[in-house]
Chains A and B, each alone.
Chain A
Amino acid sequence: GIQVEQSPPDLILQEGANSTLRCNFSDSVNNLQWFHQNPWGQLINLFYIPSGTKQNGRLSATTVATERYSLLYISSSQTTDSGVYFCAGEGLYNNNDMRFGAGTRLTVKP
């Protein structure tokens, strides 16, 4: 399966700050998704974004498929944004094999 690298591994912000999380893939991917894992362990879908840009409130994501990376932007962060953010994708030629990155642990302080 593909290798997924996320950066930074940890991020501490003050409430109101903006941040950018990055995800690099070892190969071309299908079905690229961003998730937020809340303190109860639930994986919440943020974006399904194999290419292009999407926005949802204070969050937006951009995937540049030809360069094998995706970015998640969080603006005006709130304490409730804290948690672990994962990206995951499937290799273009290897479906049904969705692999996760190691995650970015975000802590937003009041």
Chain B
Amino acid sequence: AAGVIQSPRHLIKEKRETATLKCYPIPRHDTVYWYQQGPGQDPQFLISFYEKMQSDKGSIPDRFSAQQFSDYHSELNMSSLELGDSALYFCASTRTGGFEAFFGQGTRLTVV
């Protein structure tokens, strides 16, 4: 069965650079979530999209933006990267209305 696909799997960037993370949800899933997980931490909710519109917003820094496209894939854009942005970034997808969410394998971002 198709799963949530995230790319790239690993990314190394320098401070002040930009990064774009991509997420391809499971087919027919209309909702995408983004999470940031620092070392030894739980996943922190950043932002979600339903039917290509922003649905809810968590602790997403102003330097980050995201969107969901017409094919339902989503991108997380991160600018002016800081050392503290080094983390595992997860995307999850679901069908809204009481269905199980599934996670991608994550993108490990290292800012040096």
List, in ascending order, chain A residues with CB within 8 A of B58's CB. Answer: 1, 97
B81 on the interface (CB 8 Å rule)?
no
Query: Which chain A residues lie closer than 8 Å to B48 at the CB level?
Result: 96-98
CA distance A100 to B59 in the complex (A): 13
Interface residues on chain A, number (Cβ under 8 Å) = 23
B103 near A86 with CB under 8 A, answer no
Q: Is the CB of A103 within 8 A of B42?
A: yes
A41-B108, A98-B33, A100-B42 as given contacts; A48 in contact with B100, CB under 8 Å = yes
**Are A99 and B45 in touch, CB under 8 angstroms?**
yes
| Segment from B11-19, B20-28, B70-78, B91-99 that makes contact with A | B91-99
Known contacts A41-B106, A99-B45, A100-B43; decide if A31 and B33 are in contact (CB<8 Å): no
Complex interface: chain A residues within 8 A of B33 (CB): 96, 98
Q: Give the one of A43, A94, A100 with max B CB within 10 A.
A: A43
Docked pose: A101 CA to B44 CA in angstroms: 9
Which residue of chain A lies nearest to B105 when distances are taken between CB atoms in the complex?
A42
CA distance A42 to B99 in the complex (A): 20
Contacts of A45 in B (CB 8 A): 100, 102-103
| Interface of B toward A, CB cutoff 8 Å | 31, 33, 35, 37, 42-45, 48-50, 55-56, 58, 88, 90, 92, 94, 96, 98-103, 105-106, 108
A residues engaging B (CB < 8 A)? 1, 30-31, 33, 35, 41-43, 45, 48, 50, 86, 88, 94-103
Question: What are 21 inter-chain pairs, A to B, with CB distance below 8 A?
Answer: A1-B45, A1-B56, A31-B99, A33-B100, A33-B101, A43-B103, A48-B100, A50-B98, A86-B42, A88-B43, A95-B96, A96-B55, A96-B96, A97-B55, A97-B56, A98-B33, A98-B45, A98-B48, A98-B101, A100-B43, A100-B44
